[in-house]
Amino acid sequence: MRLLVLGHGYSAGFLAALLKAEGWQITGTTRSQPERVLASGATPLLWPGDEDAVRDEIARADAILVSAGPQEGHDPALAAFGPDIARTRARWIGYLSTTGVYGDHGGDWIDEETPLSPTTRRGHDRVTAEQAWQALAAAHALPLHIFRLAGIYGPGRGPFAKLRAGTARRIVKPGQVFSRIHAEDIAQALLASIKAPRPGAIYNLCDDDPAPPEDVIAHAATLLGLAPPPAEDFASAEMTPMARSFYAESKRVSNERIKRELGVILKYPDYRSGLAALLAEGGD
């Protein structure tokens, strides 16, 4: 069995490890870091650069994971390989999107049936990309699955390094909550979908415990035996426009569908278990 990853980044590496253990051959595209693809057990292809080789892999793939994000409002994989993907024999195509497509819900619970109402440019671009993939899938009967990811953390992507360095911040915005997902749980959900395809399905990937970001930082500091960083009021905190934009939306994202349809049992159902595991493994 062969998996092609278009945009082989952080999350794809965890899926590659699971599939490699089951005998799959994995190929992943990268712009400039083939060594990182190799480290995950996949064969790297440069894109841009090796387009003909990528087209060959599209033709041979049993599964295709699209992890490359929109660029200037357009999906790069569709722009480069749309006609090739339309002819693929793959029995599973996964597109990694974001829960940002739902917009702001004032901390209320949302699920996959919630109307899309993004408030950020990133969210709007993702909605456009999702719709383009759905249109291609409808026109060519492709087995498309969309995965809307919450905030991703895992080895190398946790708060411990910044806490140790004294650069972590505890920004407080009343009522703000985020949903999160450990990279290993992303991988196991993708694997479950590959093993039980449901073309047209949309899944939220997140844990059970949406929480204020300042609580996560405080708990991580406690695990390290450090005093939490001082609380900073969001309204007056100095932040880059990009950092401030992440606080524009507050919602609690339901993951009931991945449990019900895919039988997923999260390894890390909340940030406490996830952070404890990271620290036990050496932190970040």
| DSSP states along the chain | -EEEEES--HHHHHHHHHHHHTT-EEEEEESS-HHHHHHTT-EEEETTT-HHHHHHHHHH-SEEEE-PPPBTTB-HHHHHHHHHHHT---SEEEEEEEGGGG---TT-EE-TTSPP---SHHHHHHHHHHHHHHHHHHHHT--EEEEEE-EEEBTTBSSHHHHHHT---EEE-TT--B-EEEHHHHHHHHHHHHHS--TT-EEEE--S--B-HHHHHHHHHHHHT-PPPPEEETTT----HHHHHGGG---EE--HHHHHHH----S-SSHHHHHHHHHHTT--
Residue-range domains of the chain with CATH: 2-158+181-210+252-271 (3.40.50.720)
Q: Is residue 47's pLDDT more than 90? A: yes
pLDDT for the residue 40: 92
Cβ pair 253, 179 in contact under 8 A:
yes
| pLDDT bucket at 73, cuts 50 / 70 / 90 | confident
pLDDT, mean over the chain: 96
pTM beyond cutoff 0.75: yes
pLDDT for the residue 283: 60
Tell me the mean pLDDT in the region 24-34: 96
199: CB partners within 8 A, 6+ apart: 137, 142, 143, 144, 145
Phi-psi region of 228 (alpha: psi -120 to 50; beta: other; left: phi over 0): beta
Q: Is residue 284's pLDDT more than 80? A: no
In whole angstroms, what is the distance from residue 182 CA to residue 26 CA? 22
Taking residue 145's Cβ as centre, other Cβ atoms within 10 Å add up to 23
62: CB partners within 8 A, 6+ apart: 1, 2, 3, 89, 90, 91, 92
| pLDDT bucket at 124, cuts 50 / 70 / 90 | very high
pLDDT tens track for 208-255: 999 999 999 999 999 999 999 999 999 999 999 988 988 999 999 999
In whole angstroms, what is the distance from residue 211 CA to residue 203 CA? 20
pLDDT for the residue 242: 86
Taking residue 135's Cβ as centre, other Cβ atoms within 10 Å add up to 11
Q: Show the tokens assigned to 175.
A: 């009522």
pLDDT over 70 percentage in the chain = 99
Q: Which residue has the higher pLDDT, 282 or 52?
A: 52
pLDDT tens track for 168-183: 999 999 999 999 999 9
pLDDT for the residue 164: 94
pLDDT over 90 percentage in the chain = 94
Number of residues that make up the chain: 284
Q: Show the tokens assigned to 160.
A: 């411990």
pLDDT tens track for 261-276: 999 999 999 999 999 9
Cβ pair 68, 6 in contact under 8 A:
yes
pLDDT tens track for 228-237: 999 999 999 9
Tell me the mean pLDDT in the region 81-88: 98
Nearest CA-CA partner of 84 in 116, 118, 61: 61
